[in-house]
Amino acid sequence: MTSTYHAGAQGFVSPGHSRGLIDVVRYRYLLRLLVRKGIQTRYHGSVLGWTWSYVKPAAQFFVYFFALGVFLGLNKGVPNFPVYLFSGMVVINLFGEAFTNATRSIVDNGPLVQKIYLPRELFPLAAVFVAFVHFLPQVAVLFIGALVTGWVPSLVAVLAFVLGVIIVTVLSTGLGLLFGAVNTSFRDAQNLVELFLLFATWASPVLYHWQSVSSALPRWAQTVYLLNPLTPAVELMHIAFWSPTLHGQQQPGGPPNLLLFSLIALLTSIVLLIVGQLTFRRLEGRFAQDL
């Protein structure tokens, strides 16, 4: 009797089975609304509102600038250190924001996940988009800073920026899907993410120069350091915003084979995105009952 019907034939579908990220395209209007909701409600009830998006990175910037730049003297070793510092910081902030929000997104949208079926990838993805919108004003400030200190446009700078942002976005989406899925069963995941982010800031050349790494680490360890996808992403941001302000000044050399390592970082991110999506789909069936 019932075996005469099949999913896919005669208009039948199996409820609760989506094609993951591909299905999100069909729901792009909802995705847009979810992103808008995330943006509208983020600073709801606060007087400063979106100004916080400037205040927080600014405070962070001054702490690092004085501690590392002035007290530890990096200001002298690295020309135009403020722009150097801030260009790495904005991209790490994007990563942190996107990764944290995506990890919490499924639990945060618990009531919806438990009651209405949607491709659940929508929630982490919307979280990443919100983080991206949050990132834009910081880039604007960075850009102004770079312009003031003599930034000149170049194709290389633009391409480096785009590639760096793509690496970080893909990476945080993949990790966000992975940890967001695990977080529904084990809330340890979101604490683990915080720990990760602490490492992320220090395990890439944001607060110091590559020279300090290459002079301290043996060759093989330098390679490991460069295999961290965030390292090339941060270096790409330096190429985009910091290098064009130097005008051939004597500058400490960056890491070797940056293009190669950037492509490896992109590949790593794509692999992690696939792993994240597969894990997400495996665990998705349990979301509604585990929350």
Partner 1 sequence: MTSPATPGDPGGTRLPSIVVSDVTKTFKLRHTHSFKEAFLGFIRHKTLSTTFSALSHVSVEIQEGESVALLGYNGSGKSTLLKLISGVLLPDKGRILTRGRVAGLIEVGAGFHPDLTGRDNVYLNAAILGMSRKEIDARFDDIVEFSEIGEFIDTEVKHYSSGMFLRLAFSVAIHTELDVLLVDEILAVGDAPFRAKCEVRIRELIQQGKTMVVVSHDLPMVSSLCERGVVLRNGQVTFDGRIDEAVAALSEHD
Residues that bind partner 1 (CB under 8 A): 1-7, 10-17, 27, 29-30, 33-34, 36-37, 40-41, 44-45, 111-118, 185-188, 285, 288-290
Tell the smallest beta-carbon distance from residue 38 to partner 1 (Å).
10
Tell the smallest beta-carbon distance from residue 21 to partner 1 (Å).
17
Torsion angle of C-alpha atoms 55, 58, 64, 66, degrees rounded to 10: -110
User: 10 Å Cβ neighbour count for 102?
Assistant: 30
> Which residue lies nearer to partner 1 by CB, 35 or 68?
35
Tell the smallest beta-carbon distance from residue 243 to partner 1 (Å).
43
Return the closest-CA partner of residue 270 out of 238, 229, 235.
Answer: 229
> Which residue lies nearer to partner 1 by CB, 10 or 249?
10
Tell the smallest beta-carbon distance from residue 41 to partner 1 (Å).
5
Residues 6+ positions from 66 with CB-CB distance below 8 Å: none
Spatial separation of the C-alpha atoms in residues 194 and 100, rounded to whole Å: 8
> Which residue lies nearer to partner 1 by CB, 119 or 145?
119
Spatial separation of the C-alpha atoms in residues 227 and 268, rounded to whole Å: 9
Residues 6+ positions from 36 with CB-CB distance below 8 Å: none
Amino acid at 196: F
Tell the smallest beta-carbon distance from residue 200 to partner 1 (Å).
21
Tell the smallest beta-carbon distance from residue 51 to partner 1 (Å).
18
> Which residue lies nearer to partner 1 by CB, 4 or 249?
4
Tell the smallest beta-carbon distance from residue 82 to partner 1 (Å).
36
Rounded to the nearest angstrom, the gap between the alpha carbon of residue 273 and the centroid of all alpha carbons in its chain is 12
Spatial separation of the C-alpha atoms in residues 60 and 83, rounded to whole Å: 14
> Which residue lies nearer to partner 1 by CB, 127 or 237?
127
> Which residue lies nearer to partner 1 by CB, 109 or 204?
109
Q: 257-285 burial by CB neighbour count: b if 16+ within 10 A, else e? A: ebeebbeebbebbeebbeebbebbbebbe
Query: In which residue are the tokens 């996940």 written?
Result: 113
> Which residue lies nearer to partner 1 by CB, 186 or 202?
186
> Which residue lies nearer to partner 1 by CB, 154 or 191?
191
DSSP string, 194-243: HHHHHHHHHTTTTSS-HHHHHHHS-HHHHHHHHHSTHHHHHHHHIIIIIG
Tell the smallest beta-carbon distance from residue 20 to partner 1 (Å).
14
